Amino acid sequence: MFRAKPFLFSLLLIFLSVAAPLGAATFPCRPCAGVRIETPAPAEPPTDPATEPGTALPASPADFASALRETVKLEPGSPLYIAWEVSLAEEGAGGRDASAVREAGGTPWLSLLFRTPAPVARNSERLQAELRAAAAVAGQAPPGTWFQVVWRPEGQEESTFQPAEYGFLLKRAAVALTGARRDALVASEPLPAEPQAIADFYAQEVAAYLEAVVLRPADPDTLARAVEAVQTADPGRPVVVDALAYPPAPGDPAEVMADAARLAAQGIDMTLFRAPATPADLRAMIPLLRPLAVLTREFKGDLSYDPNSTPAGASEAWVFVRGEDLGLRVIALFPRGAQGEATLRFPDPELRRPTRFPVAPGQIRPPSGEVTTRGLDLRVPDPGRVAVLGLERTTAAEREGVEERVTVAGERQMPVEEILRRLQAFEDAQARRLEHYRATNTTHLRFQPSAGTQAVEATLQGPFFFDPEAGADWAWETLYVNGVKWRGKKLPEIPLIQPEKAAALPLEIHFSPQYRYRLRGTDTIDGRAAWVVDFQPAGPAAEGGKLYQGT
């Protein structure tokens, strides 16, 4: 058999439409926050409250969305994240609940629960069933939904974090989700907040397959090191903490705003809070939701943490500056039980027009300010445990100056890893939609016996069949020799020269790195973006001599 090394494998990577870059996902607020709710297990329906009064019940996402809609008025799809686990035991579960949450003013965060045991690659049948279910959920979910890939292997729930196994699962799941919904946003499961675990995770070449990294809660120093490890391995990647506990009674639920702001100052983009046991009357959840609604309304947009504007006079305070007009949003934490008037001293004398945003229902007295030589002294009557404030800066007209706007634009070059994810997602989605097909297979062969002898060209044609269960099959029915149809009753025997079968094909997701890819160039064909990608064997697999190399 003829052995072809290297084998020239041509790839034409053209996408039907140009979508927003997958890696460009960001959270539209700072700080962002959400709530994780416990949902009833499919096999364990909730207890009837009529038979057990006062029993804490798991709430379905639809019930939670109903309470959210009736009490906290937000626009559909606002960045108040509602997270819950979705079982993949049944295809399509969770999609309708996600739509209800979005219409109620929240953003769905679906934690897809994969139960395929390790080794994942050897349990392909179980994995494929869960991938089909995940793709069905993604197909039903509304735009803007986040999909968190959670691995809880059956019978191995207490095992330690396995980066290689989880990395393989995450890539397979991300491809299935992106194939089902092009704008799918993929997040990791809560990873250990340990630099070594994060480095091992990124060693699986997962950066192009997710839009956010999720960390487990940890103390401030440990979390800071974990965030640094993420930004070292994957600069600019959003980081989420999942999930902090709500302040225990008799704590003030508004303290979640301080917790979210504290983490935002450490580089955390979004914080999920684990809701306490849901009461039978979901209206009791409203005090827990109101602080998150205030964050959603007042801290939405292009805001950044500004430590240089932090005021004195509070136990802790965090200031976020708005990029549009440099206005400030402030979260101030005061001692428990503090009464009377609090004074916050800002170092900037150009701050104006103070505003206070109510966290709880009822009237609040507005703040007042006095400009001093040191800055602005802001008096806040009855601040409570947490006060949320807004301040504006003097305009160019007030300074008797000229306002100037500068627009900065740039073009992002899509990395080769993201190109591969898109192609893999396209092929995965096509394979799930394609039940079977027939085609005509045409093979052209040219034979040159020896120098000076006329070449012989042969063309073989016949039907080609594909079925997901049986695979591919074909048959030759017609032969053309130098363009003339063969009239014999039996086709002559013709040697078919084929390359040796590779141990692993390029573009497929493998448990360990098999190929190295390089973006050679880009082009536009018929108005569609196209990329030229080179690939060659990588790592120990390259020494075996059974991998392809080409473009």
Q: Pick the closest to residue 260 from 285, 287, 235, 242 (CA basis).
A: 242
Two structure tokens written together for 534: 């080179």
One DSSP character per residue, 243-265 reads EEEPPPTTS-TTHHHHHHHHHHH
Q: Which residue has the higher pLDDT, 20 or 128?
A: 128
Backbone Cα Rg of the chain: 30
So what's the pLDDT on residue 18?
36
Confidence tier at 8 by pLDDT (50, 70, 90): very low
Q: HSE (CB half, 13 Å, CA atoms) of 515?
A: 24
Strand partners, 76: none
pLDDT in tens, 271-284: 999 987 655 566 67
**Overall average pLDDT of the 277-306 stretch:** 83
So what's the pLDDT on residue 526?
81
Q: Pick the closest to residue 143 from 103, 197, 87 (CA basis).
A: 103
pLDDT in tens, 42-54: 544 444 444 344 4
| Residue 33, pLDDT above cutoff 90 | yes
Count of all residues that appear for the chain in the document: 551
Distance CA 220, CA 208 (A): 28
| Residue 318, pLDDT above cutoff 90 | yes
| Residue 16, pLDDT above cutoff 60 | no
So what's the pLDDT on residue 53?
41
Do 306 and 348 meet the contact criterion of CB atoms below 8 Å apart? no
Q: What percentage of the chain reaches a pLDDT higher than 90? A: 46
Q: HSE (CB half, 13 Å, CA atoms) of 223?
A: 23
Nearest-5° angle of CA 39, CA 191, CA 107?
A: 45
| Residue 171, pLDDT above cutoff 70 | yes
Element holding 13 (H helix, E strand): strand 13-14
**Overall average pLDDT of the 240-248 stretch:** 90
**Overall average pLDDT of the 462-467 stretch:** 78
Q: Which residue has the higher pLDDT, 109 or 359?
A: 109
Two structure tokens written together for 13: 């990577």
pLDDT in tens, 409-434: 666 677 777 777 777 777 777 766 67
Q: What percentage of the chain reaches a pLDDT higher than 70? A: 78
So what's the pLDDT on residue 3?
35
| Residue 175, pLDDT above cutoff 50 | yes
Confidence tier at 56 by pLDDT (50, 70, 90): very low
Confidence tier at 397 by pLDDT (50, 70, 90): low
* Residue 119: cis peptide before it, omega within 30 degrees of 0: yes
| Residue 216, pLDDT above cutoff 80 | yes
pTM for this structure?
A: 0.81
Q: HSE (CB half, 13 Å, CA atoms) of 548?
A: 19
Confidence tier at 172 by pLDDT (50, 70, 90): very high
| Residue 20, pLDDT above cutoff 90 | no
- CATH class entry, domain 31-45+56-300: alpha beta
Three-state DSSP class for residue 101 = helix
* Residue 250: cis peptide before it, omega within 30 degrees of 0: yes
pLDDT in tens, 60-75: 787 778 878 877 788 9
The ranges of the chain annotated as CATH 3.20.20.80 are: 31-45+56-300
Q: Is 494 exposed, middle or buried (0-12, 13-18, 19+ CB in 10 A)?
A: middle
So what's the pLDDT on residue 211?
95
Q: What is the mean pLDDT of the chain?
A: 81
Phi and psi at 524, nearest 5°, equal -125, 125
So what's the pLDDT on residue 498?
59
Confidence tier at 442 by pLDDT (50, 70, 90): confident
Confidence tier at 521 by pLDDT (50, 70, 90): confident
| Residue 21, pLDDT above cutoff 60 | no
